[in-house]
Amino acid sequence: MSTHYNCSAPLDKRRSGVLLHITSLPGPYANGVIGEDAYRFVDFLQEAGYSVWQTLPLGPTHGDGSPYQSLSVHAGNPQLIDLQWLVERGWLEEYDMHNCFTDVFGRSKCISIAFNNFRKINENCIDSCLGKTQKKIVDCKKLLNEEKKCRAFQCFIQKQAFWLDDYALYCALKKEHQQKSWFAWPEPLKMRDADALAEARERLKQDIFYYQFEQFLFFSQWLGLKQYANERGIYLFGDLPIFVAHDSADVWAHRQFFKLDADGSPDVVAGVPPDYFSETGQRWGNPHYQWQTMEDSGFSWWLERIKTQQFLFDLIRIDHFRGFEASWEIPANEETAMNGHWVKSPGQQLMQALYQAYPDLTLVAEDLGIITAEVNELREQFNLPGMKILQFAFSGDSANPYLPHNHQVNSVVYTGTHDNDTSLSWLESLNDDEKHIIQEYFNFPYEPLNHVLMSAAMVSVAKLAVLPMQDLLNCGVGHRMNTPGTVEGNWQWRFSWEQVDDEIKAQARQMNQLYGRMA
């Protein structure tokens, strides 16, 4: 194992954190946002002695709401934008915000109002910029100096142009084509004909500018929250899905890096073989990478992707890390994941390129599922902590790697993840013999077993312990975030502040002090 990688904060000492996606925060909207309740949650973490907040991916989602199937690997989800923030900056009136709540498209309607007001406030600067090529908006400095906010917007457009130009055009074209996928667009646009794209940029420049503004709002709010958290000793822990949605700005703009046929359809799709979660495996449907083409480019696409994630987070979990060593390819015409095969990936070369470009990069490997010696060797070569899930620990024998006595320091331990049921609900689903095994392992404790599991995670030698918010709140049946292999009823769980009483905070702080994880 090389100790050259992953040595800095937040993996430099024993810490603890909480797993909670932004959408699960309380608040007046249909889902949680980067607003007052997000800042209040940071305060809760600090008071309880935690120093890490882990979220799910932040990208704009498709209709099923899954953060693991995003329209972009760079963009932020506009559904997470706090409208009150727009009111405070004078871009939205309070009554407009409340009127938007009654509309099914209320959030985008409010952001449109804010965009128009922003334009009016900064009319000279905006109109000047609109008339220029998106990658060369550099000639209006005198006008930009007139408005600090417009100057910040201008700076954002310039710095994020490497992904924002394509993303904003992609969103504008989706809107023009009634939200159809890019592979259902007219041939010139689908195939990115240069003349067709130039004409579209001119025709849709107002919409393009709107989508750039939308991302400016998201990034401004998120980075404000990150600064607030960091100043209070809280690190933000992001999640990076290894694969990309077929209908995404990334696949449309970089077809050469994906295994697609001449029409833009995948030849093979990603997933995993039968495992703990599913007897037929999981057919995710994402296109696979053309790894050789990526390597020939110096992994430029991955370097840009990680650049954005480092901007947003202090440490990053690589979801399905084993795909960096080999990935499960399923023929696109197969309905399940059973009839696939493993295909090698250039993981070592990719990881070397990432760390050469970003020496301070801090990564965690999601190494669950079918893990081979080669996967472990790749993870250990770059000193990446793996994951230990206590809900997986009590099947098999004493050699089970998830049992606490088998944990390693270079690990992140969880009671369960967003793909598991809550610990209380999981325990209630076990039969008496299964419960007896757990009770025997912990010497028949007096405490409820869900509390024992949390204590076991915190006492583990693993350098980082992360508890799902549902477990902290003792949530039982009906509070699961996601059930893998299903598409209905996921990603909707939220908590309320009434659940976070003084006893919850005191117990959390006591555990952090007792087990040496105090922030």
Q: Is 366 a catalytic residue?
A: yes
Report d(CA 322, CA 422) in Å as an integer. Answer: 25
Amino acid at 172: A
- List the catalytic residue out of 366, 367, 421, 471: 366
End-to-end CA distance of the chain: 28
Q: What angle do CA 318, 322, 324 make, to 5 degrees?
A: 75
Helix intervals (H) in 132-186: 141-144, 148-159, 161-176
| Of 69, 60, 52, the residue nearest 286 (C-alpha) | 69
Is residue 59 within 8 Å of 71, Cβ to Cβ?
yes
Strand-pairing partners, residue 266, are 260
Show the tokens assigned to 109. Answer: 């309607």
| Per-residue CA distances from 410 to 407, 413, 461 (Å) | 9, 10, 9
DSSP state, 141? H
| Phi, psi (deg, nearest 5) at residue 363 | -125, 150
Q: Which residues contact 459 (CB under 8 A, 6 or more apart)?
A: 404, 515
Catalytic status, residue 195:
no
Catalytic residue selected from 93, 193, 419, 428:
419
Q: Which residue has the tokens 């120093």?
A: 51
DSSP 256: G
Q: How far apart are CA 137 and CA 362, in angstroms?
A: 33
Instruction: Give the Cα separation of 112 and 108 in Å (integer).
Output: 6
Strands 282-287 and 268-272: antiparallel
Whether residue 331 has a cis bond before it, omega within 30° of 0? no
Residue for token digits 């990526």?
294
Letter for the amino acid at 221?
Q
Quick check: is 127 catalytic?
no
Pick from 365, 469, 351: which is nearest to 412 by CA? 365
Measure Cα distances from 134 to 40, 117, 190, 209, 253 in Å: 38, 21, 20, 9, 16
The total number of residues shown for the chain amounts to 519
> CA 136 → CA 115, 129, 349, distances in Å?
21, 9, 34
Instruction: From the candidates 319, 329, 367, 421, give the one annotated as an active-site residue.
Output: 319
Contact 128, 143 (CB under 8 A): yes
User: Which residues carry out catalysis?
Assistant: 319, 366, 419
